[in-house]
Structure 1
Amino acid sequence: MILTYGGTQTMGDFIQTGILPIDKHLGGLRKHSFVLVEHEPEVEGEYLSIQVARNVIENSIVIVVLTSMIPTKFKEKIINIQTSEETSRAKLKEAIDNNLIIIDGYSALVGAERTEGTFYVENPSDINSWIEQINNALKEAESRNSLENTFIVIPYFSVIIDISDEKSGIDLMKYLREVSSKVFSVIIAIGKWPYTEKFWEKVRSLGFDVIIEVSRYIYKLREYRYFRIKYCSWRDSRKISQSKYLFRVEIPGPGFTVYIPKVVITGPYNSGKSTFVSTISKSSVSVDFMGTTVALDFGILSIGGISAHVFGTPGQERFDEILSYLAKEALGVILIVDSTRPETFERAREMLEKLYLKDVPIVVAANKQDLEGALPPEKVRELLKLPRGIPVVPTVAYDRNSVFRVFEKLYEIISQSSGGYP
């Protein structure tokens, strides 16, 4: 019987993956879905599949096929992905011990000792040896009365192709396509190595339900990595495939998260900027004098599958040069206003005029909505004379969920503008 941790989860036809764009635009992963993650070499695309395994393991059986690390190393990696303050390491370890089934195809490759409690692939170059152990793992999952609540994840499928051949790799994928009709989802990650064009044609003909591309680009001598949803069988792919999502991998830490390298938090004096930054950040620094920021707030955000570096600027006019400098290379700006003090909106409009010149995505946070006399977002929009494309989000700066909704809205705008990156 499957053991659940962190609350009961109803599977239904979809499950949330913890990867924000997948959950928001696809509704999560659909039951019996066959998922391909195709990634450029050395961009850590395999971690997307590992992150999904980590995020669902508290409520699902996860069969992981290992081709590049020993089982103990993989368990250590999963335990070090801490996505929620509500899940202790002890509970996560218990979930891994009870819900993780490992097929070890790596130890035989390197001559390592067999790990007790795993399904061991004795001949990794023989595709039938892999199929045999996957079948054994499925029987184990079924014995726990949860075959339809089972995920199969193969983070480094390319290794199987490399030690056998392209035809064997295709044959194994065909088998996994059939298996996907029995389990909740099968996810495989393949590096875009120089396999033959015929191989890739056959891969595309296998009927994947979701195809996710992971790649990179260079901007101002810095490398950024992104992913995009190229295809989904139950959504209109023409629209969702246009958005590209920056990501980063941090282990130990939150793992694979969508990423905003630079967000500027600004607004008039005493609008709640420092509280906003400190509420959402796992670490933050503020330079202030008598309770007022006189230089910069800086924080590192990690919540709800989003990570970001955030910079808060002082609200006084003498610091406008700092605002202009930071906004020049920011991917997004959050303007915080005190919705109980409309007399500060003139200053907010001055700051907006400077930001319009930078052509950067902007979200307005109508803060202090919990206080008496707070203006509703519609009135804030009217008084600020905002263009239609700038959203106003009701906010309470000391509430994490409230602040997260602001970042979620900003990330949505960034991902839809200019392909989601500079």
Structure 2
Amino acid sequence: MCKLVCRIFLWYLHSSPNYQLAVRIGYLLFWLLPAWAYAQKPVPPAFHPEPEEALKRYQTTLTQLRQEHPNHRDLPDLKFFLFGMGDRLKLIYRNGRLLNALTGNIEEQWRVEREVIVPSEYLVQLTLAGETPPQSRTIQIREDENGVWILQPDKRPKLIPGTRSRVNLPTFADKAYGPVLRVLHQELLINVINGRPVPNFLVYARPWFRDAALMAMVLRATDNLSLIRDWIMAIRDPFDRNNRGIAEADNLGQVLFLISLVSDKSHPAVAMVLDSVRRFTKDTHIVGRTDYAEHPVFQTKWLKYGLKALNLPDPYVIPAQYDTYSALVWWAYRDQHVAGKKFDDETGRNYPYLVWAEDNFYGQSGASEKRGMVGSLDYPLSWEQQASAAHYPSLTVLERDLVKQKLAFPHTWHAAEMFLLLSQQQLNK
């Protein structure tokens, strides 16, 4: 930008009939441009003074969460951390290496004597092995609202190329589970890739409207919708067709809701949705396939919610029948629900977002009735297993055993359901 301004000024200097005025403008630019350039330069984060204390605070909050939500699951402890929230280069830290998560290339490498991973601070602290001077033995990899940084006490902070972009990172200091919410928020933001919200960027190449809608609810709450605005504006097909090409009926309402967050009913996809509704209409509701089964209550609830979000006419009536997916729309139409069998424990292990959604719906207060699973790890907190459409071989860059187990973490729908439930609890002061 500075070079462009200088070129324009030189052209003006040579072509202007008022040479003295041009010189004065040049003098003004001489003083203003450096200040402007400095203002555009991101300010690096401070070297964290007490990462181990921060880790203890986070682990204490996790312990409280596990006490309140006693349904637990052991997960493989790989001791890794992901960097690259929003539209940033995706990086994996593990075992002294900082890897490009998509290519496996080693971006940075250290001989490490000790590591401390602090998920709630988006921080990895390394104590280096070898003969380095004491003041140079500590390195911090830290992500903030401006990018991913490598910090050393005696060196200039290094902004890792490809990570400079803006995200909003609230501290959630007023929430009972503030440190946990920071991690869940990170697990959502890490899965925005090229402006698109995906369930897990390693095993899913395309966004899913179901997952994206829940993800967008969190991004709206944290003022990060700009990260996916262009993707929403570019939607034309009202179906993501990710389940073997099937046009899933719930996508219609999800697309309308997503559009309402950044646009209005003039969006081109709105007409496509309204035209597509006809093929699913049965009596006064809609019915079609979602996850290879009919879920008319779930699908009609989503459609009504999307229509309402855009102030569009809504002639539809939620059918009074049992639907296993009815509770998944827990933020609206709660009184239009026919109770029945809930998701079993095996489903909760593999697809934990379904049971966390039920917890959101029922708002159960007794600890023994809270069925949403909490993993055994400090990080990540969300996962999915045995998904039919996930491409698990991509997990090789992280750990080969995950491919065999068909286990991917983190996962955005799971993280969003947990976030939306836990964020309702204020800190007792």
What TM-score does the superposition give when structure 2 sets the normalisation length?
0.23
User: Which has the higher relative contact order, 1 or 2, with Cα contacts under 8 A spaced 6 or more apart?
Assistant: 2
Larger proportion of helix: 2
